[in-house]
Amino acid sequence: MKKLTMRLMIATASLVVAAGAASAQIRTTMTAQIPFEFRAGNRVMEPGTYRVENLNSQTSGPVFRLLNVNSGGSAILTVRALVDPQKGWTEESLKLVFACTSGSCALAQLWNGPASQAYKFYGPKLGKDETAYLREIPMQRGKGE
């Protein structure tokens, strides 16, 4: 009986440690101050302070949530493609990249540090005569919840 109890306690402790590690890995939170209206996925987001969370879906790949801290509006974003990180990146290199045209901006990429992949998101297609320019917004690491 003692051996069974001990094994159950060890198994439970292992699960708790694994769950804690997974939780820390899944919840990477960053913040950004975005001063303009933009599209994120199929949603139009207003200017404000945003919390960006990597929900890290184990089944379908990386998933991010953008949450407007002021209004509570949010969007869930799935990744279209991974991009190799740029050399020489530092902690200050965290950023959101927006593809902007004369009329609007759409979240196009998220760069979250030197040891990680960067992510491209689905966005609206440009018209035949439309050109886009890139606009970068820096992010800061925050604590996961």
How does pLDDT run across 74-115, given as a tens digit for each residue? 999 988 888 776 655 555 578 999 999 887 999 999 987 665
Burial of 100 (0-12, 13-18, 19+ CB in 10 A): middle
The C-alpha atoms of residue 136 and residue 104 are separated, in whole angstroms, by 14
pLDDT at position 66: 94
pTM attached to this predicted model: 0.72
Task: Please check whether residue 19 lies inside any domain of the structure.
Answer: no
How far from 6 is each of 1, 3, 9, 10, 79, CA to CA, in Å?
A: 9, 5, 5, 6, 43
For 137, other C-beta atoms within 10 Å of its C-beta total: 18
pLDDT at position 50: 96
Q: By residue range, what is the domain housing residue 119?
A: 26-141
Task: Please check whether residue 37 lies inside any domain of the structure.
Answer: yes
Task: Please check whether residue 9 lies inside any domain of the structure.
Answer: no
Task: Please check whether residue 78 lies inside any domain of the structure.
Answer: yes
pLDDT at position 99: 93
Task: Please check whether residue 15 lies inside any domain of the structure.
Answer: no
The C-alpha atoms of residue 126 and residue 137 are separated, in whole angstroms, by 21
By DSSP bridging, strand 48-54 and strand 95-100 are: unpaired
pLDDT at position 23: 38
For the chain, what is the domain count? 1
Task: Please check whether residue 20 lies inside any domain of the structure.
Answer: no
Residue ranges of the chain with pLDDT lower than 50? 4-26, 144-145
**59: which DSSP letter?**
T
Task: Please check whether residue 12 lies inside any domain of the structure.
Answer: no
The C-alpha atoms of residue 44 and residue 92 are separated, in whole angstroms, by 27
Task: Please check whether residue 1 lies inside any domain of the structure.
Answer: no
